[in-house]
Structure 1
């Protein structure tokens, strides 16, 4: 299922009826952002959008909503486009178990067709535009950003590939938001302690697996490239960036190389964020671009985000859920599944087989201490192993009849959360909560739960039969 590059995946989407090519002339603003918002509003099975005729730009095109639906997400995993979300989750989780898969290095990346060492003007290279009307400016928000640990630059596993919002501040200067919990935030802190700039390589227009893995909350020494190989089932292809020497995706449309300037901070934002609110302006680091390598007529891939659901939510739904599942299951084999698809895991639903009274609450608290949970997971809903956490009707039933407001709520005061959470006060601090909607068991015995209705015999067989007939 490995895709060599973004055009290869777009072709696969096209062959499955999941790519809409728009040849009419469109304006960068407001047409592109409006179209991406509209396709998310209409359906959860929407196609990717490819714009080939953009007013004011003679060359290049823009791709939006590339993984912006469950069929597109399934195709990213190499599955049938009608694969249900729960099945996609477990397929994703099984492939995690194949990590690590060694990379394949290549010397012939297509992005070496053109290079620029001076006179760089990003506005000439890409059709930049604002997504939402009150964004402070243009953003690059779906690039895979590569950085290395300044204290151990030769350790391949400490090289980070992450997705961060990047504001275009000038023709060759960018702003970036590296949160302290992000690996690039750790790299920047180490570099600034040494009073050094932090080199970075920003890769634009990638095939979807590395984009998906780049947004995963892996541990510090887990390689995104080796995880991408596990997810796609074959070695991930990388090449060497000419200025930084970093490992970057072989199939990128463009590679921007430069450095985060030590000690420099400028106002970045406002920006319409995944929380459905504008983030406001904050002092953030600045990147100076030194070299650009790119294909002829590159495809500029953009990610629309705003009020859920958008492509942001489909992209980060399972790549957030699966790491939480794997990290919790390592300590608690009783964890059955994790649904952290809502607002990037600010809310998560965890199903667990209870060992004893109070056990589910302990698992919920542990979720808050995972790498992702430290900055997210403000609300954890615990449900029984018989409740499907991906079936919201079942989750709401469990909350309706098994959650007791007096006994089943655990509050953690003044916990950490990402500052973008509009409910945090001060920004970055919030009370977190575990809502235990599991069936009480000894020694926590209360209520009347001894006669729960189960499914008729043969229900599972009929599920599979009807699934095939519906397809």
Structure 2
């Protein structure tokens, strides 16, 4: 199921009736952001949107909502587009276990077709840029993997980071980037500045969806995103060497921008409409100077609409957030059955578990908050029994409504870390966190009346499968 590039994946979407093309002349603002918001409002089975006739641009097409639905997410994994979310979760977790898969290196990258360097670079001319939401401070590149290396361990492939960060276009060859200190690129920048050096970076624009999905994963510092992409797609991930910086970048990218984060330079970046559904405000952030741009003929510029969930970002990050939490928790607690951390990048998560004794579920919930991802997210954790599907909100709400006792099942942890973008944090980056235990009480807890639960009639599962086939 490995896709060579974004174009091949779009062809797959088209074949499966999951791509809409718009060829009528359109002004990028407000139409592109509005279209992406609209398709997310209407359905969770929405198509990708491809625009090829934009006012004011000589070259380039724009595609949005590439993985903005469960059918598109399933096709990314090479599955039938009607594959249920829970099945996608376990398939994603199964492939995770194949990590690492060695990369495939090639030097015939299609993005080498055209090159612009130095004073000739004008990103506003090279890329179709537009604001997504009306009060964004400017135009952003927000779905492009940024590749950086550890200045103290430059040749260590595993310490090379591939991450997605919001990037504000501030000038013809100048960008603003928002790396948090806990991000790998934040660690790379700190080391570079301690050495008094700029940090070289490469930015890959327009990629097949596996690498953009993996680039948003909370992997460990020495785990290669490219080797994880190989595991998820089931074959070696193809990379090529960026000529100016020497970074390993996706072979099939539409465009590659190369430059450096300027040491000790900070400028106001933002406001920007974020995945929380609120504008983030402006903060002083690092600056990137671009020295070289390479791109394909008639490039496709991929954009990610962000706003109040759900949007494409929620589908993109749903399982690549849930599966790492599942894998990390299962190492400590084999009783963990599944993890649904799909809500606002895991600020709320649901864990199904097979409790061993009273209080066990609460311990699992607290542990989730100390995982690498949970430290900055996981503000609200709901724990349910193994018989409850954490991806079925009707079941979760039933469990919460009848099993949760406010006096016994609420754990409040004060003043813990959270990402500063959480609008409820006060001060920014600090919040109380809670665990809601919605599991059935077991010894030594003795309370409630849970001995006569209604079970499913015989042959229910067989009828589920029969009806599922008829619906297809």
Please give the alpha-carbon distance, in whole angstroms, between the structure 1 residues aligned to 2:158 and 2:429. 28
Offset of residue 114 of structure 1? 0.9
Please give the alpha-carbon distance, in whole angstroms, between the structure 1 residues aligned to 2:465 and 2:97. 26
RMSD: 0.8
Offset of residue 194 of structure 1? 1.6
1:376 and 2:377 matched: yes
Please give the alpha-carbon distance, in whole angstroms, between the structure 2 residues aligned to 1:66 and 1:88. 17
Q: Give the SS at the match of 1:25.
A: coil
Partner of 2:307: 306
Offset of residue 208 of structure 1? 0.4
TM-score (normalised: structure 2): 0.99
1:19 and 2:14 matched: no
Higher mean Cα deviation, 277-286 or 447-456? 447-456
The C-alpha deviation readout for 1:277-319, integer Å capped at 9, x for no partner, is: 0000011111111111111111100000101111111111111
What stretches of structure 2 of length at least 5 have no aligned partner? none
Q: Give the SS at the match of 1:219.
A: coil
Partner of 2:72: 72
Partner of 2:205: 204
The C-alpha deviation readout for 1:121-170, integer Å capped at 9, x for no partner, is: 00111110000000000000000110111111111111110111000011
Please give the alpha-carbon distance, in whole angstroms, between the structure 2 residues aligned to 1:138 and 1:201. 19
Partner of 1:173: 174
Please give the alpha-carbon distance, in whole angstroms, between the structure 2 residues aligned to 1:18 and 1:214. 23
Q: Give the SS at the match of 2:279.
A: coil
Offset of residue 233 of structure 1? 0.5
Partner of 1:55: 55
Please give the alpha-carbon distance, in whole angstroms, between the structure 1 residues aligned to 2:351 and 2:143. 29
What are the within-5 Å matches in structure 2 for residues 267-416 of structure 1? 267-416=268-417
Partner of 2:117: 117
Please give the alpha-carbon distance, in whole angstroms, between the structure 2 residues aligned to 1:220 and 1:91. 24
Please give the alpha-carbon distance, in whole angstroms, between the structure 1 residues aligned to 2:365 and 2:178. 29
1:460 and 2:464 matched: no
Please give the alpha-carbon distance, in whole angstroms, between the structure 2 residues aligned to 1:379 and 1:153. 38
Partner of 1:98: 98
What stretches of structure 1 of length at least 5 have no aligned partner? none
TM-score (normalised: structure 1): 0.99
Q: Give the SS at the match of 1:169.
A: strand
Q: Give the SS at the match of 1:34.
A: helix
Please give the alpha-carbon distance, in whole angstroms, between the structure 1 residues aligned to 2:60 and 2:391. 39
Please give the alpha-carbon distance, in whole angstroms, between the structure 2 residues aligned to 1:445 and 1:466. 40
Please give the alpha-carbon distance, in whole angstroms, between the structure 1 residues aligned to 2:219 and 2:431. 23
Please give the alpha-carbon distance, in whole angstroms, between the structure 2 residues aligned to 1:466 and 1:11. 30
Q: Give the SS at the match of 1:300.
A: strand
Offset of residue 3 of structure 1? 0.3
Offset of residue 115 of structure 1? 1.1
The C-alpha deviation readout for 1:374-430, integer Å capped at 9, x for no partner, is: 110000000000100001111111111111111111111110011000000110000
Higher mean Cα deviation, 193-202 or 382-391? 193-202
Please give the alpha-carbon distance, in whole angstroms, between the structure 2 residues aligned to 1:222 and 1:327. 14
The C-alpha deviation readout for 1:224-264, integer Å capped at 9, x for no partner, is: 10110011010000000001101100000000011111111
Please give the alpha-carbon distance, in whole angstroms, between the structure 1 residues aligned to 2:359 and 2:155. 45
Q: Give the SS at the match of 1:161.
A: strand
The C-alpha deviation readout for 1:174-227, integer Å capped at 9, x for no partner, is: 000101221111111111122211111000000000011001111111111011
Q: Give the SS at the match of 2:101.
A: coil
Offset of residue 173 of structure 1? 0.5
Please give the alpha-carbon distance, in whole angstroms, between the structure 2 residues aligned to 1:29 and 1:361. 48
What are the within-5 Å matches in structure 2 for residues 36-51 of structure 1? 36-51=36-51
Greater than 4 Å deviation, 4+ residue runs: none
Offset of residue 88 of structure 1? 0.7
